[in-house]
């Protein structure tokens, strides 16, 4: 009699409380769903033994992990970025890695615009000062109209373009920078593409929308900050490592930038003693830009569906290491 072992998807780590969506998708396909909360290589290896596919949020998926899981058919990342997964190792082991690149376009771009307006209008500072008994505008002067300001978008992918569209609708003059696009061209919806240095020098608000790679790590460093306009404002909703935190803290005292809003950090969660928490000219949110009830449900459903597809022996969608499909 043949032994038909039930296939398994293991969630090796996730900071969400409910897994109803994943359970429904896996259950409908007759696949077992197992949940763990691994943080180290050893814990991932132990949790994922026997899994056909794994879902991961923050846990490290390294060459050592993949070597210890020879039966693995796919890795699914909760989110867009895959910087915790060794893509080269995954390709070498024949394991496709998938993300969901477009589940939170509206949410992240909404959040970026909300943070930008918070800086432009000084609402967080006004709130803090008012609660401290200071009734007045001195803390935010000088403040200028949106229509008098230039909004620079660094990275004109899906989220960057959505942010540019919303900034333009509010009345900002919008420019963008992207190494994949020709300087002097424009996006389909009319954002002029300028050199990165020109964007730094010519923008009142700069919003970052790039993946974290070797080339973008500390893209915003001391030199980049020094090129900004006096009184400029910086928004980061992409990856914490894109901004040199120490350089930013030092630069805030010079007015380049005047203020910044960060949703992502080089170390997450922020350590309790971080100087970021005491900086008056910073607005901070806890990596929340991706979130809405709709985006959360869509992410869970689509990444689990991708793992189900891989378990069936088919090519899952949104493989971020395409060499695995041709190697």
pLDDT tens for the chain, 327 residues long, are 344 579 999 999 999 889 999 999 999 999 999 999 999 999 999 999 999 999 999 999 999 999 999 999 999 999 998 989 999 999 999 999 999 999 999 999 999 999 999 999 999 999 999 999 999 999 999 999 999 999 999 999 999 999 999 999 999 999 999 999 999 999 999 999 999 999 999 999 999 999 999 999 999 999 999 999 999 999 999 999 999 999 999 999 999 999 999 999 999 999 999 999 999 999 999 999 999 999 999 999 999 999 999 999 999 999 999 999 986
Runs of H (alpha helix) within 143-182 = 158-170
Instruction: Identify the residue whose tokens are 């930013």.
Output: 248
DSSP assignment, residue 183? T
**Which one is catalytic: 209, 287, 296, 305?**
287
State the CATH class of domain 105-284: alpha beta
- pLDDT reported for residue 327: 66
- The yes-or-no answer on residue 209 being catalytic is no
Q: What's CA 40's distance to the chain center, in Å?
A: 22
- pLDDT reported for residue 124: 98
Query: For residue 66, is the peptide bond before it cis, meaning its omega torsion is within 30 degrees of 0?
Result: no
Sheet holding 205-208, edge to edge: 173-177, 150-154, 205-208, 233-236, 259-262, 282-284
Is 8-103+292-325 in CATH node 3.30.70.270? no
Rounded-to-10 torsion of CA 266, 268, 271, 275? 40
- Residue pair 98/77 in contact (Cβ under 8 Å)? The answer is yes
Query: Token pair for residue 271?
Result: 């350590």
- The yes-or-no answer on residue 287 being catalytic is yes
C-alpha pair distances (Å), 79 with each of 14, 108, 196, 288, 297 = 11, 12, 27, 12, 12
Segments making up each domain of the chain, as ranges: 8-103+292-325, 105-284
Query: Token pair for residue 102?
Result: 């477009």
- The yes-or-no answer on residue 302 being catalytic is no
Rounded Cα distance between 248 and 253, Å, is 9
- pLDDT reported for residue 72: 98
Q: Beta 8-11 vs 32-35: how paired, if at all?
A: parallel
- pLDDT reported for residue 17: 86
Instruction: Identify the residue whose tokens are 């992207």.
Output: 178
**Which one is catalytic: 77, 229, 239, 256?**
239
Rounded Cα distance between 34 and 131, Å, is 47
Tell me the three state secondary structure of residue 30: coil
C-alpha pair distances (Å), 313 with each of 14, 26, 88, 157 = 25, 15, 21, 31
Instruction: Identify the residue whose tokens are 């509010």.
Output: 170
Angle (CA) 64-68-71 rounded to 5° is 130
Q: Are 8-103+292-325 and 105-284 equal in CATH topology?
A: yes
């Amino acid at each position: 009699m043949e032994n038909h072992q039930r296939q398994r998807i293991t969630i090796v780590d996730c900071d969400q409380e409910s897994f109803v969506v994943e359970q429904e998708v896996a259950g409908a396909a007759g696949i077992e769903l197992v949940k763990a909360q691994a943080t180290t290589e050893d814990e991932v290896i132990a949790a994922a033994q026997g899994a056909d596919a794994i879902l991961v949020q923050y846990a490290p998926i390294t060459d050592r992990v993949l070597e210890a899981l020879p039966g693995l058919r796919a890795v699914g990342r909760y989110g867009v970025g895959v910087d915790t997964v060794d893509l080269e190792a995954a390709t070498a082991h024949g394991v496709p890695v998938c993300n969901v690149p477009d589940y939170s376009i509206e949410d992240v771009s909404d959040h970026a615009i909300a943070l930008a307006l918070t800086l432009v209008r000084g609402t967080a500072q006004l709130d803090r000062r008012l609660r401290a008994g200071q009734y007045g505008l001195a803390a935010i002067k000088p403040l200028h109209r949106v229509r008098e300001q230039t909004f620079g978008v660094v990275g004109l992918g899906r989220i960057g373009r959505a942010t540019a569209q919303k900034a333009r609708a509010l009345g900002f003059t919008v420019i963008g920078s992207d190494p994949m696009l020709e300087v002097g061209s424009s996006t389909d919806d009319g954002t002029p593409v300028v050199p990165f240095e020109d964007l730094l020098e010519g923008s009142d608000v700069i919003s970052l929308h790039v993946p974290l790679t070797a080339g973008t790590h500390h893209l915003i460093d001391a030199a980049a900050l020094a090129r900004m306009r006096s009184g400029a404002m910086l928004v980061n909703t992409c990856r914490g490592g894109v901004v040199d935190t120490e350089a930013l803290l030092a630069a805030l005292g010079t007015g380049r930038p005047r203020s910044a809003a960060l949703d992502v950090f080089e170390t997450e969660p922020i350590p309790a003693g971080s100087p970021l928490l005491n900086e008056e000219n910073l607005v901070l949110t806890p990596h929340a830009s991706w979130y809405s009830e709709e985006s959360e449900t869509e992410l869970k459903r689509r990444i689990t569906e991708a793992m189900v597809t891989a378990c069936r022996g088919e090519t899952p969608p949104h493989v971020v290491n395409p060499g695995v499909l041709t190697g």
